[in-house]
A and B are shown apart, each in its own frame.
Chain A
Amino acid sequence: MKEELEKNPQSTISSSQVFFIHVCCALALAAGFWVAHHVYSLNLVFDPTKTLCLIWAIEFPVVILLFSCCRQKPEKCSYFTAIARGLLGLPVGALLNALGALALGAPVGLQYLEKTVNWSLLMSSFTFVPTACVCGSSWTDWHRIFACTKPNGPLEFMLCLPAHGAVIGAWFGAWPMPLDWERPWQDWPICVSYGAMAGYVVGMVGSFGLALKMHAGRKQLKAE
């Protein structure tokens, strides 16, 4: 597998790898919830700040470690450089996510600062960090994946789909917020986080499905 990767570093990633990475990310998310619930007896509804903090703290190392493995041009860029890029990408992505959320109507105020920071760090580890690990500062790659949404190959789909899923999920998650149901989960950023996670998972499933399809297509090509 590794030899194949090194031969054609641009795009190849096997569907089992895609599956493995996605399952690990999803498991990390679930683990975050589990730890919050069983170890610290926290809940996203009752203490969103700490729970979100726990979740991203568990999620983002997993994401960085996994995605740094499939960095582009591994011959030029060491594993640790990729990790460093991911670490750097985390706050930058958080800033962008927070700005987007504020533009869309996230509450401004000191009492919401912690929540917003933790939420945007989580969002960053869904959206920004994987691409930072894989592509680094390659503007053309970023432009292709996010601005044009024309990803190439399963690896880029793996970056693109879950990130878009998370953002779109968060956007939909904001809808129940103004309703007058007076449920505690309607507060910022609880339902938005739920939406983002759901979108993220859907995006991962989609990217895995696409990877399977592409793989099958390539096999067919080879067979022919």
Chain B
Amino acid sequence: MWGWWRFGKWTVLIMFLHIISILIFTKGFLLTRTELPHSSHCSDLSQSPCHSSPSSSSCWTKPAVDRLIIIVLDALRFDFVAPSSFFEEKQPWMDKLEVLQRMASENPSSAKIFKAIADPPTTSLQRLKGLTTGALPTFIDVGNSFGAPAIVEDNFINQLIQNGKRVVMMGDDTWTQLFPHHFNKSYPYPSFNVKDLNTVDNGCIEHLLPSLYQQDWDVLIAHFLGVDHAGHIHGVDSTPMIEKLEQYNAVLEKVIKELQNQSGPGKLHENSLLLVMGDHGQTLNGDHGGGSPEEVETSIFAMSFKDLPSLPSEFDSSSCEPSKNICISSIPQLDFAVTVSSLLGVPFPFGSIGRVNPELYALAVCTWNLDDDKTWNNQGQTKLEEWLQNYANVLCINSWQVKRYIDVYSASSVIGFSSEDLFHISDLYSKADENWSYTKNLSSYKHGSSNTSLPVLKRQIVAYSNFLSYVAELARSKWTEFNLKMMGTGIGIMLLSLYCHTLAIKKLNKSYGVSLLSSRDSGISFGLMLTFFMVLIRAGSLLSNSYILKEGKAANFLLATTGIMTLRYSFMKNKMLIEAAIFLLLTFIFRIAIEVGLYKQAATSQFMSSSSSWMLGISISPSLWTYMAEIVPILALIILGYFLYKSISSCCWGIPKYVIMGTILSYFLIALHWISESNILDLAHFLKGFGKNSIPRTVYAITLVQLSLLAIVPIFSKEETSNCRGSLFVKMMSILSACSSTIIILQGKQGALVALGSLLAGYCMMRLQGIEKHTVSGTAGISILGPLPVLQWSLLAVCLLFASGHWCAFDGLRYGAAFVGFDEFILIPQAILLTIDTFGFSHILSVFGLPLFVAFPSPFNQTEHKSLFPIKLFWIFMVYGLITAITATATILCVTIQRRHLMVWGLFAPKFVFDVVGLILTDLLIFVASIYYFDGVEDRIGNAKLRRLW
């Protein structure tokens, strides 16, 4: 074992460094907030210290509005709504929604424009989630990863439904994806066609005005998409955008007019509130998703159809524009859900951390009437006190709900808040709470003398507000801000590990005696340059979301490029032309498979439009197609089995023979399994006795037995073989075959084809590698390894991942594979199966297949000294590991650079998780494989050395 340790320590060190750096980086980067499944209920309020509302009909708060009309204008910039006098310069797109400005300036007490601040990521889906749940964005949307993005957390819409409110929705179909069963009536229109500016809007307009006369709803949501699409296609400063805004202005004018007509006592909209709001802003180019002010600043216009007084100035945060008599105040979008819930009198969403916004609340809740602060008459003051009392009570409920959420969250979540933060939260809350019991008592028996109770109430409100804003601040810093120091440290350690890697390779080169990297042959140093170049390109390509999305194609492009280079090289040497050509053909086939995979991905991805470039335009009759799909994989399996049979018949002894025989048996079983699943041959009833799970389980069992045989037997039996290359080849064949059967059955029918393809590709690459060996061995007697084949092998591994229908996203996992051989969900075996399925070809088989380049008994290499052999083996593992590590480091760097990118959670973060898991798995496999292979090689060399010593 000491021989292994000589180089093996490097693999251990590098693995250790990788794990440390990834852990540190992940802690700084993945700021996960887990979703809690709890929801609020009316009855919960009895646990709170607050006043329950006096009337039994209301739930948490007294309903202030009966009907709510929410008009969402997607990607509504703040300067679309606010008057142009707020900005330095008047732009053509400003002041187009003049009806809102007019309303806000004419009745400042009942209509108001707010600047709403969204939390990034500013995409519609994430924003709608944020608006309705009142929570900050989550990193991994578990719901989303299974294809349906329905919201699992408690939210405002859910509360409405639970409390018997009827909701009507029209417009963007994202709502129906988020809330599949919540709406009484919905008129969804597809949102994915960005070029279509009108379908969604026209549909909305068609249903919006008639709905205003109907009585069958309490909350109406109309989501217009035109501005968002116009921005994406034409930009903000364009005629279509201005036309859209003018169209909206006309629609809003009609809506407001209708509502005003219906707002008299006893009429339909006697007590209605209109909210016109954006979900996020957009840049001048029409982009959104990031965290720039243009993207996060949107607007809420609220208007109630009652005559209302204005708010006491303490709670008024607005900045005013005296010339036009418009005041604009700012509201975080976080506050939306809880404020609207309090207005409608439904329980606040469980996970909301917002605060009931006093200004928005005051617009609708009218309990007092006064003209001016200074001329308070006695009645007005009582009214004001009543209002403050009411608001303080709402804030009390609000604070209690937030405190409850924080408590439940930190009790149930792994990554919660630090204890100091929690202590501070409790401290603030208990202070406010103590105060409250005093305030409550005060107001209950000192009803007459309100001079003293007013400042007390105000202090109370401030105490609650402090608590709520502290929580929101803390949550924002914990959940949405990156810890750059930790990320930097992680990257630093990662770079250090890369340095160690190169150091290790240099050491290996030294012990090899000749420098492998700088060679005399120009062809090989060209290969080294090409390798560097390719790795650089691949690393750089990860900076762009488009290349990550089409990573498979990009890797295939590079693979084909290296293929063409080897073809050219073999032309140069006039050797192995056929192998080079077959290799190119295989890359072409893999490419088609990757495109089929991309096509599948486009069906579920929110970022991709489906492209059908691979469609041949030839229609094969479907029956023939299914027939082919059934037959071809089985044929591939038979061919694989035949290859294995040939390989054992040529070199057969001992354990490997039995292992390979076992694999052939497994292949037979897999073929039987597929036949029984299909309906070509009527074998189903014949096999029914076995049950459909027995075959996969047998295959798993065979694999386990094979692997344990391979692991245990070499310890006990030390058989001498004359040819250590040959024995290595047999070892490789046996472990590859042992792993392959499980991977193939998990991958399903494509697995057999991919396995056959990779076998052929591996064979070709090995042969092609022989060109160089041959040319050099004649002179020096030492075969020289180039890094290019290793690069090709790793590119091939990437291609295999994509060609077998996976991609780097959570919906790219093939969940079906977890249930091959199992019916019910048990976490650990299912997770193992899923991992094997995902990383089977691209990592497990690739790493175990690496000795291919040194193992094959090639006729040119007989002269080579045996002691160099393990060094070469390690060299190959190290170079492969280095290439993987460089790619992963590039991913980490790119994720850091792009951390404010639109698709950071949708695309970069999943890619990061995949790469990081892949890297650690590769390290681990290299560790295992080097021990496994070394065992065979080292013993013999050790014996040889001993013998020489004697």
Contacts and interface: CB of A to CB of B under 8 A. Distances in A.
Contacts of B556: 105
B616 A178 contact: no
Contact of B557 (A109, A174, A180): A174
A172 B554 CA distance: 13
Contacts of A178: 546-547, 549-550, 553-554
Among A107, A178, A188, find the residue whose CB has the most chain B CB atoms closer than 10 A.
A178
A221 interface: no
Interface in B546-597: 546-547, 549-550, 553-554, 556-557, 560-561, 563-564, 568, 571-572, 574, 584-585, 587-588, 591-592
Given A103-B560, A178-B553, A109 B546 contact: no
Contacts of A171: 561
Contacts of A174: 557
A147 B572 contact: yes
Given A105-B553, A105-B560, A174-B557, A179 B587 contact: no
A104 B592 contact: no
Nearest to B613: A107
A166 B823 CA distance: 57
Among A104, A108, A112, A146, find the residue whose CB has the most chain B CB atoms closer than 10 A.
A104
A217 interface: no
A159 B592 CA distance: 34
B215 to A, nearest CB: 45
B564 A108 contact: no
A143 interface: yes
B616 A109 contact: yes
Contacts of A108: 592, 613-614, 616
A180 B546 contact: yes
B572 A148 contact: yes
B513 interface: no
A102 interface: yes
B572 A109 contact: no
Nearest to B558: A104
Interface string B632-659: 0000000000000000000000000000
Interface residues of A, number: 21
A220 interface: no
Interface string A64-81: 000000000000000000
A110 interface: yes
Interface string A168-194: 000100100011100000001000000
B544 interface: yes
Contacts of B618: 110
A181 B937 CA distance: 53
A139 to B, nearest CB: 10
The prevalent SS among residues of B at the interface is helix
A179 B544 contact: yes
A105 to B, nearest CB: 5
Contacts of B550: 178
B617 interface: yes
Interface residues of B, number: 31
Contacts of A109: 612-617
A188 B557 CA distance: 15
A103 B568 contact: no
Contacts of B564: 100, 103-104
Nearest to A144: B572
Contact of B560 (A104, A146, A180): A104
B545 interface: yes
Contacts of A107: 613-614
Interface in A136-179: 143, 146-148, 171, 174, 178-179
B546 A103 contact: no
Contacts of B613: 107-109, 112, 188
A8 interface: no
A121 B455 CA distance: 87
Given A143-B571, A179-B546, A105 B617 contact: no
Contacts of A112: 613
A200 B612 CA distance: 31
Given A103-B564, A105-B556, A107-B614, A147 B571 contact: yes
B533 to A, nearest CB: 12
A146 B570 CA distance: 12
Given A107-B613, A109-B616, A174-B557, A147 B568 contact: yes
Contact of B617 (A104, A111, A180): A111
Nearest to B607: A180
A109 B592 CA distance: 11
Contacts of B615: 109
B634 to A, nearest CB: 26
Contacts of A105: 553, 556-557, 560, 591
B119 to A, nearest CB: 24
Nearest to B232: A182
Nearest to A101: B560
A179 B553 CA distance: 12
A82 B587 CA distance: 36
Contacts of A104: 557, 560-561, 564
A48 to B, nearest CB: 15
A110 B588 contact: no
Contacts of A180: 545-546, 549
A110 B616 contact: yes
Contacts of B614: 107-109
A102 B617 contact: no
Among A105, A107, A110, A180, find the residue whose CB has the most chain B CB atoms closer than 10 A.
A105
A105 B591 CA distance: 7
Nearest to A113: B617
Contacts of B572: 143, 147-148
Contacts of B546: 178-180
Interface in B87-128: none
A104 B545 CA distance: 21
A107 B614 CA distance: 6
A174 B547 CA distance: 12
Contacts of B554: 178
Nearest to B608: A180
Nearest to A181: B546
Nearest to A142: B571
Contacts of B549: 178, 180
A108 B554 CA distance: 16
Nearest to B612: A109
A103 B584 contact: yes
B393 to A, nearest CB: 51
B547 A103 contact: no
A79 B751 CA distance: 57
Interface in B788-818: none
A102 B550 CA distance: 17
B214 to A, nearest CB: 41
Among B544, B553, B554, B572, find the residue whose CB has the most chain A CB atoms closer than 10 A.
B572
A147 B614 CA distance: 32
Contacts of B612: 109
Among A100, A108, A174, find the residue whose CB has the most chain B CB atoms closer than 10 A.
A108
Given A103-B585, A103-B587, A109-B617, 14 more contacts: A100-B564, A102-B588, A103-B591, A104-B564, A105-B553, A105-B560, A109-B614, A109-B615, A110-B617, A110-B618, A143-B571, A147-B568, A179-B547, A180-B546
6 nearest CB pairs, A to B? A107-B613, A110-B617, A147-B571, A147-B572, A178-B550, A179-B546
11 contacts: A103-B584, A104-B560, A105-B553, A105-B557, A109-B612, A109-B613, A111-B617, A143-B572, A178-B549, A179-B544, A180-B549
Interface of B: 544-547, 549-550, 553-554, 556-557, 560-561, 563-564, 568, 571-572, 574, 584-585, 587-588, 591-592, 612-618
